[in-house]
Structure formats: structure tokens, C-alpha cells
Amino acid sequence: MQTAPAAPLAPTAHTRPTWYRATRVALSLSPLILVHLSLAAIPFVEFTIWSVVAVLVGTRIYGLGITAGFHRYFSHRSFKTTRWFQFLLAAAGCAALQKGPLWWVVHHRLHHKHSDTPNDPHSPVVGGFLHGHMGWLFTQDLMHPDERSVHDLTKYRELVWLDRLWMIPGLLMAGACYAVLGLNGLIYGYCLSVVLVFQVTFAVNSIGHLFGKQRFDTGEGSRNNAVLGYLAMGDGWHNNHHRAPYSARHGFAWYELDMTYQFIKLLGLFRLAWDIKEPPAELRAGRVAQQPEPDAIPEPAGAPAPLPGGS
């Protein structure tokens, strides 16, 4: 008895042709690509004192959305806040066009779990400087990451919604900048500010794992880089961060300026942040403890429980 030949399987994400996957990646990153290309308009837009103000204000809003929001709050749970302010932090981070909060946190938690190994999404030690800086965005299909590691965030429907519609806050901010300062506000207050925040953030991924001092032996390439420490509002004290990832404070020494930590402390004064986590005194003094403290990152949903007596 003959049987009809089986129907061919529908193509999956793994069997799609290279051009299809490349197109998907390019489209998903198109807002970020467009703001970089828009800087070609700078010679044709008058530069005034308001341009400086727009850049200073813009980089603080989008930068803190990343450093205080996406990074220290959502990725590492370094402090607690209200649900409505949590949403504002997520919206400010989305305005930086580094995709949505769930997407960002998934990859950052992977980075800490597998830092500078082949499973690290953006290790310059493994893949080279360009890969670690931004090449990883284009060489992988990152459209649908495994969200099991962010089950502590997916319970908030507004964050899931914002993760899917992450372009909206950026469009609103771009429109607001144009409404206030016209083309000057759009180019300097939004596009240039977003590009600066992006490049500094991703320099922490690349430069921050190749150049600088290692105060602590963390078993991977994280460095304290003074230039990035100031430009990235504290996130450039990257070796400190990898030593105590749960800490809201990245600048341990008195001379390590950490504007993000100061911002979080300011939130605390207005009762918008509490349970702000600090590194122990011996780490702030630069002394090396026996083992790195565990992060506040929760175990993925469905992960097996540790065996009794296990580490």
C-alpha cells in the first residue's frame, strides 16, 4: 500500500535563508540605524546654546533610563520603587532605542551568567572589539529571546506591552523635542542624544572588558575604566559592578563618580526608591572578599532546584 508523500515542513527560524534573517535584524534595528544616519543633518542645523541644553537634558533622561532603569533596577533589582515609577523608568529606557526592557534584561543577565565565554551575547574577549561593541546586534537573530530568565518582570502586563511597542516612547520624545525646539530639538535633543547614550552604553560592553584596571579578580575581563566611569554615569566602573552586581552603587572609591547612584539616592529622599543595595565596606575599601556575592537575579521559571548541600 502506497502512502502519500509527507508534506514538507514549514520553514522555521533556524531554516530561514540568511537574507531573510538579515532583513529581520535590520528592520528590528531600523530606529537605531536611522538616528545614527540623521546626524548627517548636523551641519545644516544651527548650533545654539539651546542645542547644548537639549543634549544635556536628553542624555540625562535617556541615559538614566538605561543605567538606573534597564540596568540597575530591572536587570539587577538593586533597589525597589513604585509600580508607576517602574513604568516611567522603562519608558525612559525605551526612548534610548535599545529595544524593550525585557529584551534588554534577558541579554544583560545572560552576559553576567556567561561573562566572556562563548555563551556571552557580546563578549569582546571572545568575539573581538567590533562584535562586543555592536556587531553582536547584527550577527545574531535576537528577535525572540528566551524570557524564562525575566519571569519576575513578565508578571507586569504594562512591561510586556512596552517591550512589544518599545518604539513608541522614542517617537513621543522625538515629537516633543521637535515641538519645543523645532529641528534643533529633534536633531540635538533627540537623535544626537540617543546616539551618544547608545555608543557610551555599548562601549561599556566592549572597552569595559578590554581596557582599564581590574581591582577585583572576577574571573572574566571586566575593567574599571575612568573615562567610561564618568561618561556612563557610573556604569564604567565595570569591574566593581561584576564584583557586586546586586549593588546600586558602582563607584566604590570616593573618586569614582557615580551619577546614577546619586540619582537613586535622590529618589530615596522623595520616597521613590527604597531598599537600596550597597556593597559591603571591605569592597568599598578595595579589599578582596573570598567569593563574589550572589546577584539578585532570580532563577529562570522552571529551573531545577539546587541539590541539598550544593553551591
pLDDT in tens, 268-311: 999 999 999 999 888 876 665 545 555 655 544 444 333 333 32
- Between 247 and 139, the more confident residue is 247
DSSP 143: S
What number is the average pLDDT over the span 49-63? 97
pLDDT in tens, 176-218: 999 999 999 999 999 999 999 999 999 999 999 999 999 999 9
Contact (CB, 8 A) for 193 and 35: no
Residue 57 CA: distances (Å) to CA of 53, 160, 187, 188:
6, 28, 13, 10
CA distance 97 to 93: 7
Strand partners, 213: 224
What number is the average pLDDT over the span 92-109? 96
Q: What average pLDDT is seen over the chain?
A: 87
Contact (CB, 8 A) for 133 and 200: no
Residue 29 pLDDT: 82
CA distance 11 to 74: 35
| Least trusted range by pLDDT, from 2-6, 114-118, 207-211, 230-234 | 2-6
C-alpha cell at 258: 557615580
Buried b (16+ CB within 10 A) or exposed e, 80-104: ebeeeebbebbbbbbbbbbbbbbbb
* Look-up of cell digits 546577584: 295
pLDDT in tens, 234-251: 999 999 999 999 999 999
CA distance 61 to 1: 71
C-alpha cell at 136: 553582536
Q: List Cβ neighbours of 257 (8 Å cut-off, separation of 6 or more).
A: 229, 230, 234, 251
Share of the chain above pLDDT 90, in %: 74
* Look-up of cell digits 537573530: 141
Residue 283 pLDDT: 82
Residue 147 pLDDT: 81
Residue 148 pLDDT: 84
pLDDT at 54 over 70: yes
What number is the average pLDDT over the span 51-59? 97
Residue 282 pLDDT: 81
DSSP 308: T
Residue 302 pLDDT: 44
Residue 160 CA: distances (Å) to CA of 87, 99, 147, 150, 305:
11, 12, 11, 11, 26
pLDDT in tens, 247-270: 999 999 999 999 999 999 999 999
Contact (CB, 8 A) for 65 and 93: yes
What number is the average pLDDT over the span 120-145? 86
* pTM assigned to the model: 0.86
CA distance 48 to 183: 12
Contact (CB, 8 A) for 218 and 292: yes
Please choose, from the candidates 158, 180, 181, 201, the residue with its C-alpha nearest in 3D space to the C-alpha of residue 63.
201
Residue 259 pLDDT: 98
Tally Cβ neighbours within 10 Å of residue 161: 13
